[in-house]
Structure formats: structure tokens, C-alpha cells
């Protein structure tokens, strides 16, 4: 069993913000697979269960706000007996330009408060990370940037990335994140 986590903030106020790209990927995947999210109040998370060709996957959108994501995901992963190596986290990354995606396993939080919380609450930080670039603001106001809505070009980049990620996601589930990263890179940069 795998746990696919999309990072974001709950509520309609944040739905279209750059910070909610993880939620948007899970929503897109759920819609494609005919899944519905339901609230799991015990864990403060919305979940959907996907019977993929690679096995059972729990989709999770923490409802604790970004900075406390680990408070939802850690008890949820323990409840389902899912080890960190079987957790996949999709989130926004300021250090990647818009239109770029990077997949890696393990590491620090890089200043991302959602990852900081996950790293504090999970036994290890060796989970799979799917970073989707949102770039940095030219004026240096990071809070306004991540909580703002992307321009039309950046939204087009996001749509393209999420589509290709969904197409190649089976490789990540099968335990081949490097294969997925290469295929995604080749599709995004023909």
C-alpha cells in the first residue's frame, strides 16, 4: 500500500494558490479515476482510496494547514502501517522555475514548512518527493507569492506538468521514481 500526499491549505480561499499545487494534483487524479474524497476527522485529513494497477493507494490532503501537515500524515501512515519509503508527497517548490518538476527520495525540508512538519513527525525523511516548480517572486515577498494565484503562463505550465505526471505516475508507484523522472523530463522537454 502507498500513501500519496498532496500538500496545500484547506478552504476555498487557498484553492487556486501556488501553494496548493499538491491538492490540485490529487484532485485531478481523483477525478480521472472516479474517486471521491471524504473527511477523516480522526486524522484531520481528506482521503480517497485508489485501487491502481500497482496496488492500493491512499490519497491524502491534510486539513491542518501546510505548516502542520505532519500532524495528519504521521498518524494516518501509522494507522495504515505505511512506511515512509511508501509515502509520496507532491508539493510546490520555490527553487524550481515554473514548468519544471523534480523527483527525489529523502532530504531536508529546504525551507518548505510542509516538509519541515512531515520531517518532524515521520520516523525518517526518506519519502519520495515530487517538487513542482513555482519559481521565486522578483520582489522577494514569498508569502504573497505562494499564497497568490499564478499568471496565465504559469497556470499553463502547471496544467502540462500535472498531465504528464499523471501519465507517468505508475512508474513511481511501481518503485521506479528515476524512470518516471526521466520519462516526465523527456515529455516536458522534447
Single out the catalytic residue among 19, 109, 112, 171.
19
Query: Residues 6 or more apart from 112 whose CB is under 8 A from it?
Result: 91, 92, 93, 94
State residue 89's pLDDT score: 97
Q: What is the DSSP letter of 148?
A: S
State residue 57's pLDDT score: 96
The mean per-residue pLDDT over the stretch 51-64 comes to 94
Per-residue model confidence as pLDDT tens digits over 59-116:
999 999 999 999 999 999 999 999 999 999 999 999 999 989 999 999 999 889 999 9
- Domain range holding 144? 2-188
CA atoms of 144 and 100, how far apart (whole Å): 21
CA atoms of 128 and 125, how far apart (whole Å): 9
State residue 13's pLDDT score: 95
CA atoms of 99 and 153, how far apart (whole Å): 9
Query: Residues 6 or more apart from 78 whose CB is under 8 A from it?
Result: none
Closest CA to 129 of 79, 78, 165: 165
Residue that the C-alpha cell 531536508 belongs to = 108
Per-residue model confidence as pLDDT tens digits over 32-46:
999 999 999 999 999
User: Is 174 a residue of the active site?
Assistant: no
State residue 177's pLDDT score: 83
CA atoms of 49 and 36, how far apart (whole Å): 8
Number of domains, the chain: 1
Whether residue 190 has pLDDT greater than 80: no
Per-residue model confidence as pLDDT tens digits over 131-178:
999 999 998 899 999 999 999 999 999 999 999 999 888 888 887 888
Closest CA to 75 of 104, 113, 103, 43: 43
CATH code, domain with 160: 3.40.50.1470
State residue 154's pLDDT score: 92
Amino acid at each position: 500500500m502507498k500513501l500519496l500526499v498532496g500538500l496545500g491549505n484547506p478552504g476555498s480561499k487557498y484553492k487556486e494558490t501556488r501553494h496548493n499545487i499538491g491538492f490540485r494534483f490529487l484532485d485531478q487524479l481523483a477525478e480521472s479515476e472516479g474517486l471521491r474524497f471524504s473527511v477523516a476527522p480522526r486524522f484531520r485529513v481528506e482521503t480517497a482510496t485508489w485501487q491502481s494497477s500497482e496496488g492500493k493507494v491512499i490519497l491524502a490532503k491534510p486539513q491542518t494547514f501546510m505548516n502542520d501537515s505532519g500532524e495528519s500524515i504521521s498518524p494516518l501512515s501509522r494507522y495504515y502501517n505505511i512506511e515512509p519509503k511508501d509515502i509520496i508527497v507532491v508539493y510546490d517548490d520555490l527553487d524550481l522555475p515554473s514548468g519544471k518538476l523534480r523527483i527525489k527520495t529523502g532530504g531536508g525540508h529546504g525551507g518548505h514548512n510542509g516538509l519541515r512538519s512531515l520531517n518532524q513527525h515521520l520516523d525518517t525523511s526518506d519519502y519520495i518527493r515530487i517538487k513542482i516548480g513555482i519559481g521565486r517572486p522578483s520582489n522577494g515577498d514569498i508569502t504573497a507569492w505562494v499564497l497568490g494565484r499564478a499568471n496565465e503562463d504559469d497556470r499553463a505550465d502547471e496544467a502540462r506538468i500535472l498531465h504528464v505526471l499523471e501519465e507517468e505516475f505508475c512508474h513511481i508507484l511501481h518503485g521506479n521514481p528515476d524512470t518516471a523522472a526521466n520519462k516526465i523530463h523527456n515529455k516536458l522537454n522534447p
